[in-house]
Structure 1
């Protein structure tokens, strides 16, 4: 029996990925205009961005505890072993809730073999970890081999973000050390990364063109053997920019494999439209 891979919608992988690769999906909740939606299933990112542009502030919620309980109990009854690759605990309480429900289920079913990994990754940074885990699991890799790869990639995944509106991120409580970047300076674009699972601004640049050029430089500085990697780009209603950056990355960094995905409704509720993010490893796993 192959290792069961589980992931939440904050990995920003398309729905068909979960269906085609046998990965169990845990959708986060999105609350908008007095209605509740399941991220990736009953709401599209464009609905969130249109709402934000109209002055609405969407809210999000963790994966349903009852869904965790249902899936974990089913796994225990079927003697399945699995790895849940979770969205960063620094940005959501989903990881902690999953651990709590897992431990409750184990009280009744001690045989449950389920590892829950706090990736401290977000969006396609988490998604790239999930993609490789699914590939390994479907190829028949052992539980231990898949888990080792998940932990390694999670630890070494770099995140580079830029957003149109830092105030929106700050209001949603998903930003650390933001004060020095506030103030509404004309055409100042922030560069953010992830530190211990939280979004942190690290630089600011005047003008988008300079910022995007700087992102290429930072990728080259931090990345390891980029030409051997799958590089991730996720975007919030900025497909043309993502495609242009893909071409630039392929040309300047000699990268063949670049994956572009939409930033989903849950993460997009906090970033707003115009966000673009880049994901790559600062060290490659040994073969």
Structure 2
């Protein structure tokens, strides 16, 4: 029986990708101007970024328990294998909610082939894991093969990113008010990465021009077999810089353009990272297919 891949909207993939690879999507919620919106469904990232540029502060919330219960129950009744590839448990309560609902559904359907996996990834880092799993499922891989691949890909996914304005990280509690003030004053651009699912400051770069070059240096240090993997770049409504980074990667590592996936950072993560974010995702140990 075909395996259904389920993920949430924080993976920052497109509706076309979901459709093409038969990926089921559960959207997180964005709160803006007193209204609730489904990320990627009833609100698009561009709207959120434009609102942030106007000084508004959108909020986000996780997927409801009822949503997961309905999805899991429908698959359990049909005994259809489901693999849910979740947003990092360190950045959202969505994974924990899904695990609770998995346990609840399995009380009634103990043999339900439902698998909930914490990627400890975010944005297109999570998205690359989802794409890989969906392609395996399409090729007829077993549930164990898909689950093991998701865990392996997640464990070896590197996230390196920078933000254009420290104010947004301050609002989200990632840095202090003083750090944001001093950083903005000195025109410091922070580089961050994801360590065991958490956002962790890596270093500070003086001047935005140096940031992309430093991202490439870190890619060279951490990446492995870059010509034989899919590389992700996501951006906070700054396609020009994302394409600039893509060209730099192609030139430096002899990577072909079709190996690089460029997507906009979605509403949920963008609400915390802000316009101008640039993020780079690659594997530090790609596994041969």
* TM-score, scaled to structure 2: 0.95
User: What is the distance in 2 between the residues matched to 1:152 and 1:67?
Assistant: 27
Give the 3 Å change call, closer, same or farther, for CA 177–96 of structure 1 in structure 2.
farther
Deviation for aligned residue 1:176: 6.7
Match of 1:70 in 2: 70
- Equivalent residue for 1:265? 267
Structure 1 match to 2:192 = 192
Question: How far, CA to CA, are the matches of 1:239 and 1:181 in structure 2?
Answer: 25
1:241 aligns with 241
> What pairs with 1:1-287 in structure 2 (closer than 5 Å)?
1-173=1-173, 175=174, 183=182, 184-256=184-256, 257-287=259-289
Distance 1:97 1:177 in 2: 29
Equivalent position SS for 2:185: coil
- 2:167 touches 2:180 (CA, 8 Å); kept in 1? no
User: Displacement, 1:177?
Assistant: 8.8
Inter-partner Cα distance in structure 1 for 2:170 and 2:158: 21
**SS in structure 2 at match of 1:270:** helix
> C-alpha deviations, 1:63-119, integer Å up to 9, x for none?
122111111000000111121100001110000000001111111111211111110
Q: Could you give the per-residue CA deviations for residues 171-221 of structure 1, whole angstroms, max 9, x where no partner exists?
A: 223x37997676233321111100111111111111111111111110011
Indicate the SS of the match to 1:205: strand
Normalization by structure 1: what TM-score? 0.96
| CA-to-aligned-CA distance 1:230-263 (integer Å, 9 cap, x gap) | 1000001100001111111011011121110011
Conserved in 1, the CA contact under 8 Å of 2:234 and 2:263?
yes
Q: CA deviation at 1:51?
A: 1.1
**Alignment gaps of 5+ in structure 2:** none
Q: What's the RMSD between the two structures over aligned residues?
A: 1.5
> How many residues are paired up?
286
Off by >6 Å, runs of 4+ in structure 1 = 176-179
